[in-house]
Chain A
Amino acid sequence: GAGVSQSPRYKVAKRGQDVALRCDPISGHVSLFWYQQALGQGPEFLTYFQNEAQLDKSGLPSDRFFAERPEGSVSTLKIQRTQQEDSAVYLCASSLEGRGTNYEQYFGPGTRLTVT
């Protein structure tokens, strides 16, 4: 595709529900990142994949958060038993190379999650 796409764009969940957020990276991009952006804040790193391998999940706030990228392309971020503090915009980004740290990350439009 032309860019990184994310779905749904908006999600409202009742507290305690499970949600799944999808990210379609740019075709051929090796690296995929998830970030969480709370209202009025900068994005914060959640997790990083190189192809299908999850190399860094140090930013996941709790064991309720789980991410996967089974075929090295599409990724899903799952949040179990959502809490109000999970309300945020979840951004996905992809980049071309796996180990280069100066490669541009291309961001999707984000999924705005509201937990009521």
Chain B
Amino acid sequence: AQSVTQLGSHVSVSEGALVLLRCNYSSSVPPYLFWYVQYPNQGLQLLLKYTSAATLVKGINGFEAEFKKSETSFHLTKPSAHMSDAAEYFCAVSVRNQGGKLIFGQGTELSVKP
């Protein structure tokens, strides 16, 4: 069975500081991994995805994530936080043999202080 664990339900950073949101996965097969962002009262927007090509994946809005098989991790980073980055972030794994349904982590709420 596949699962995702996001460490830290709330992360607070200062504007301009490094953003690091942690995600660990469990999968019996090579996974496809995703990071989504959710703003209040909106649906989820894809930030980036890993589909077994390059292990360092660049996404929108300056975010990137690195797939580390040895650590079963897919942490999300951004060098310099912006106020507009404040949102809920979800890591997800795709279930390959079940049509690609997504298994999500519990989410991490990112706050950005001025």
Indicate, yes or no, whether A interacts with B: yes
Number of interface residues of B (CB under 8 A): 26
B114 in the interface (beta carbon within 8 A): no
Which of A45, A101, A103, A107 has most B Cβ within 10 Å?
Answer: A101
Number of A-B pairs whose CB atoms are under 8 Å?
71
A80 in the interface (beta carbon within 8 A): no
B106 in the interface (beta carbon within 8 A): yes
A contact set with B: CB distance below 8 Å: 4, 31, 33, 35, 40-45, 48, 50, 55-56, 59, 91, 93, 95, 98-110
For B107, list chain A residues within 8 Å (CB): 40-42
Q: Could you tell me the distance between the alpha carbons of A101 and B103 in the complex, rounded to whole angstroms?
A: 12
Given A42, A44, A100, which contacts B100 in the complex, CB threshold below 8 Å? A100
B 67-102 contacts with A by CB, 8 A: 90, 92, 94-96, 98-102
B contact set with A: CB distance below 8 Å: 4, 32, 36, 41-46, 49, 51, 90, 92, 94-96, 98-107
For B94, list chain A residues within 8 Å (CB): 101-102
Q: Could you tell me the distance between the alpha carbons of A100 and B92 in the complex, rounded to whole angstroms?
A: 16
Given A42, A50, A93, A109, which contacts B90 in the complex, CB threshold below 8 Å? A42
For B105, list chain A residues within 8 Å (CB): 42
Q: CB distance A95 to B100 under 8 Å?
A: yes
Given B4, B101, B106, which contacts A48 in the complex, CB threshold below 8 Å? B101
Can you spell out 18 A-B residue pairs with CB atoms less than 8 angstroms apart?
Answer: A41-B107, A42-B4, A42-B92, A42-B104, A42-B105, A43-B44, A45-B103, A50-B99, A91-B43, A101-B32, A101-B94, A101-B95, A101-B100, A102-B32, A104-B46, A104-B49, A107-B44, A109-B42
Q: Could you tell me the distance between the alpha carbons of A7 and B107 in the complex, rounded to whole angstroms?
A: 25
Q: CB distance A48 to B99 under 8 Å?
A: yes
Q: CB distance A48 to B44 under 8 Å?
A: no
Chain B nearest Cβ from A78, distance in angstroms: 20
CB-CB nearest in chain B for A105:
B102
For B90, list chain A residues within 8 Å (CB): 42-43
Q: Which 8 pairs across A and B sit closest by C-beta, in order of nearness? A: A42-B104, A101-B100, A107-B43, A102-B51, A107-B44, A101-B96, A45-B101, A101-B94
